[in-house]
Structure 1
């Protein structure tokens, strides 16, 4: 398949429809790279999300097994006849596929404490791992599976159901999947998504987006509004479930942000270039302060115990 290039706004809907159809059929690496480049443009990401939403509405209609009029949305801009025809053709192909079993309605609030990691089996068959000091809400409807991550970290093995996608909400950010395994950490400085297998659409804000595949991570910096990506080893993804963290050339600010999950508000980092120092090593999540004490032997920093009991990391 050749890469799509929009020559006018009218073609974006057609491109979104074509990519949607191809992504359902496990595209090869070259196609995934082409789609990632196309999807990085905000207008393309918006059109793709709108097409997914329309497909979800039609999937719900099929489940109800009775005629239903979809709500008419006033068009913001003129849609081309070609785009509508392409979308209709793709939707016909979608309807030819087997539909999944509807997920039971389910709502749940989860709040863990320090050293309080939990594992849950959700009604749809997904397995949810919740890290310490994490708060989240689960809301499964007939149309979509939603998880709202208020703070902390989760890893989920998502049971595939193409008619009811799963969306993790972290503030304004959305992480959308059908069936995959991925990790999300929402901390004071960063929102981080790491993919073990499958594909994940990550939209941290209105201007940034990323399509992540296996062994890829994307980190969104709240203060700088910057989205960065990196490649991981499989052992680095959600390794906290085994009680240890392994990190390679991690920026110190990112590492301290993750440690805050285990010792909230205890570790401070001086401002300036110190935040960009790179650190490698491993950590016992039950004793994160051991790493802080070892930092002066790894990089040119010093630790200072403040009167309020906090530990401040400063340049040496």
Structure 2
């Protein structure tokens, strides 16, 4: 048996295990370690996924497909006969599939769009939305956020524009969940985490499971529960740290929690919550840093609290609230 055939057999074993009901967190960690140990493993797993998807196609279409070689013809016949016992068949027929895939004898499906559609979701200023995707994934969108979702046969794609969202991703070992946020890609299979893409900065915080983050010009970084990554677009500065995830996701409960953050960032958050703009009158005010909690309620009350927490004063007009250093 060749090395490629062995890799595909192992990939099939992983595919069966991860689709089972008894998969554990340790299984996911072990799979992550195997998948990233070699680029050949990723290729083998993609091939196994693609072949597995043939079992979900209409049996009549499989039956009509021409046999391109004896091995492929045998596999196609078995697909029709054993379709109801898909997982058992995958496990027991691993060697035959591996040989067929390595020889290039089995026709694999393309990666065209399922349904050929892209869906855009928007949460307006002061609005939070919860979205349930067709695979069961839940996305909570923070105020003033925009993202696009596209499902393909081999992957689930999300592109985040200016946005913050909390993801509870449904497990699907055959279709990883890929998020593009600026120059950064986040890759998961099933987990819970927060992604913030604002003002040219990306931050990821993991509540449960494993997340692979790949900033541009940096090697992939794997984050576990309780870890976070921050990154400025265009820079080689990805930083990993232990993070209090409940604080990062406090916006879901109407709390903005800051640890040594500039007032310019806090004002940006306020402007996503209310239509009347808050403006900074001078650079000294913009650079002031805050550690504290702001309860999300009325705009005037929130801005008023800032004047108690920082040496600033506010002026309110019909069109805006202006903050300046005292």
TM-score bin (small chain): 0.5 to 0.7
> Tell me, what secondary structure is at the counterpart of 1:226?
coil
Does 2:223 match 1:233?
A: no
Take 1:142 and 1:215, find their aligned partners in 2: how far apart are those partners?
31
For 1:230-309, list aligned pairs within 5 A: 230-263=241-274, 266-268=278-280, 270-271=282-283, 275=287, 277-284=289-296, 286-287=297-298, 290-303=301-314, 309=320
Deviations 1:8-54 (A, max 9, x none): xxxxxx9xx9xxx8xx87459xx99xx8xxxxxxxxx8x86785465
Deviation string for 1:32-89 (max 9, x for gaps)? 9xx8xxxxxxxxx8x8678546523431222225899xxxxxxxxxxxxxxxxxxxxx
**How does the TM-score come out when normalised to structure 2?**
0.62
Distance of aligned partners of 1:260 and 1:49 in 2 relative to their CA distance in 1, 3 Å threshold: farther
Greater mean deviation of Cα atoms: 249-258 or 193-202: 249-258
Q: How far apart, in 1, do the equivalents of 2:203 and 2:272 lie?
A: 13
Partner of 2:103: none
CA apart distance, 1:108: 1.5
Identify the residue that residue 182 of structure 2 maps to in structure 1. Answer: 171
Tell me which moved more, 112-121 or 251-260: 251-260
Question: Relative to 1, partners in 2 of residues 1:272 and 1:282: Cα closer, same or farther, differing over 3 Å?
Answer: closer
Kept in 1, the 8 Å contact 2:195–2:204? The answer is yes
Structure 2: distance between partners of 1:272 and 1:114 = 27
Q: Assess, with a 3 A threshold, how the Cα gap between structure 1 residues 253 and 171 changes in structure 2: closer, same or farther.
A: same
Residues in 1 aligned to 2:260 and 2:291: alpha-carbon distance in whole angstroms: 5
Please, which of 201, 204, 211 is the counterpart of residue 215 of structure 2? 204
Q: What TM-score does the superposition give when structure 1 sets the normalisation length?
A: 0.63
Change over 3 Å in CA distance of 1:246–1:303 after alignment to 2: same
* C-alpha separation in 2, matches of 1:206 and 1:55: 25
- Give 3-state SS (helix, strand or coil) of 2:306's partner: helix
Q: Which runs of 5+ in 2 are unaligned?
A: 1-6, 19-23, 56-61, 69-93, 99-112
C-alpha deviation, 1:199, in angstroms: 1.3
Q: Which runs of 5+ in 1 are unaligned?
A: 1-13, 36-44, 69-91, 97-102
Shift of the 279–55 alpha-carbon distance from structure 1 to 2, 3 Å rule, reads same
- Pair member with larger Rg: 2
2:42, 2:287 → 1: CA distance? 39
The aligned counterpart of 2:50 is: 60
Where is the helix percentage greater, Structure 1 or Structure 2? Answer: 2
- The structure 2 residue matched to 1:149, chosen from 160, 163, 171, is 160
Aligned residue pairs total 252
Alpha-carbon deviation of 1:245? 2.4
1:132 and 2:168 equivalent? no
Question: Equivalents in 2 of 1:144, 1:159: separation in Å?
Answer: 13
Alpha carbons of 1:113 and 1:294: their partners in 2 closer, same or farther (altered >3 Å)? same
CA RMSD of aligned residues (A): 4.2
CA deviations 1:159-212 (Å, max 9, x no partner) are 011110001112332111000011112211422212111111122322364322
1:261 is paired with a residue whose SS is: helix
